[in-house]
Amino acid sequence: MEKILEVENLHVTFTTYGGTVKAVRGVDFHLNEGETLAIVGESGCGKSVTSNAIMRLIPDPPGKITNGTILFKGENLAAFSEKKMRSIRGVDISMIFQDPMTALNPTLTIGTQLMEGLQEHRNVSGKEARKKAIEMMDLVGIPNPEERLKQYPHQFSGGMRQRIVIAIALICEPDLLIADEPTTALDVTIQAQILELFEKIQGTTGVSIILITHDLGVVAKIADRIAVMYAGKIIETGTKREIFYNPQHPYTQGLLNSVPRLDLAEERLTPIDGTPPDLFSPPDACPFAARCPYVMEVCDKVYPAKTELTGSHRVNCWLQDDRAKQLIAVK
């Protein structure tokens, strides 16, 4: 499998009056061509900062990518000029944000907004652009595209607006789509329809997708692999099956226990006690130690190295690391 994206040792900080926020602290992950990777974690753990860093949309100041590489088709986006990034955004890599209303311009017709990107980046005539816009509206499931091209965002429901945002993101046929909480603002039924749409689009176009969400339930259907993020780090990654059926990090287990499950007659939801650490001065050791039901002495002292459980499943947790036993024995 070809890797379309490889993020290595990514660090992003924000310098504020209150101090330096270490929002992303050494993130590593990759995305294979044509797959969907879900990045999951509680609010504030650095998911949006990670995706904005890939798009090079970190406001500087106060933000800065202080370390790391972001290899997209083998080229390091972290070293690209703003000019070069502008030719990539919306063309090779597109991003969809949480709120479909702010992503659309209320004063322009849907048709104009769909065709804008095409006309800017691809050398197409107005007629061709219109044809492609209609094709895209059709792909994302908007009925009567010819008529609806002439309408404005407020004439569409929330779910339909999100479909339009997706159509705009895809019109230049990007290879990578980053969707940051794309269904969080929508009600549950519409959420499911939008997730199905992502699956269908991937089937049709082969686009690789990074799906960011705080809700593991959302990814159950469409993710191929899952990366679990906590306090600016990825603490476990695996295939969907590995994460759902054999979660190894107590944080992943905690997230799973707080997802409503349809297959259990009796709903037992156990939220994780406590809150994530403050990212002004996160612990150098395991950031989950303070909330972990299995915490050991070593967990508060040293950050656990990565343990490879299978070719696809890895975790950073002392419970999985044989060296913890040796460290304990030494004491």
Placement of tokens 């019109």 in the chain: 171
In the complex with ligand ADP, the residue whose CB is nearer, 122 or 291, is 291
φ, ψ (nearest 5 deg) of residue 152: -105, 160
Q: Which of residues 62, 203, 206, 260 is near ligand ADP by CB under 6 A?
A: 62
With CB under 5 A as the contact rule, the residue among 13, 36, 48, 208 that binds Mg ion is 48
Q: 256: closest CA among 235, 236, 274, 272? A: 272
Q: Does 14 bind ligand ADP (CB under 6 A)?
A: yes
3-state secondary structure of 329: helix
Find the part of the chain contacting Mg ion (CB under 5 A) among 3-11, 46-54, 67-75, 108-116.
46-54
Window of 42-50, 116-124, 134-142, 266-274 that interacts with ligand ADP by CB under 6 A? 42-50
Candidates 55, 88, 279, 289; binder of ligand ADP (CB under 6 A) is: 279
- The item of Mg ion, ligand ADP, none sharing an interface with residue 182, based on CB under 5 to 8 Å by kind, is none
Q: H or E stretch including 63?
A: strand 63-72
Partner from ligand ADP, Mg ion, none binding residue 216, C-beta < 5-8 Å depending on class: none
Shortest gap between Cβ of 18 and ligand ADP (angstroms)? Answer: 9
Q: What CA–CA distance (Å, rounded) separates 30 from 106?
A: 36
Contacted entry of ligand ADP, Mg ion, none for residue 129, CB cut-off 5 to 8 Å set by kind: none
Distance CA 222, CA 172 (A): 23
Q: Does the protein bind ligand ADP through residue 23 (CB under 6 A)? A: yes
Residue 113 touching Mg ion (CB under 5 A)? no
Q: Which residues make beta-bridge pairs with 174?
A: none
What is the DSSP pairing of strand 307-308 with strand 93-96?
Answer: unpaired
21 near ligand ADP (CB under 6 A) = yes
Minimal CB distance residue for Mg ion: 48
Provide the strand spans (E) within 107-188: 176-180
| Angstrom distance (rounded) from CA 154 to CA 293 | 48
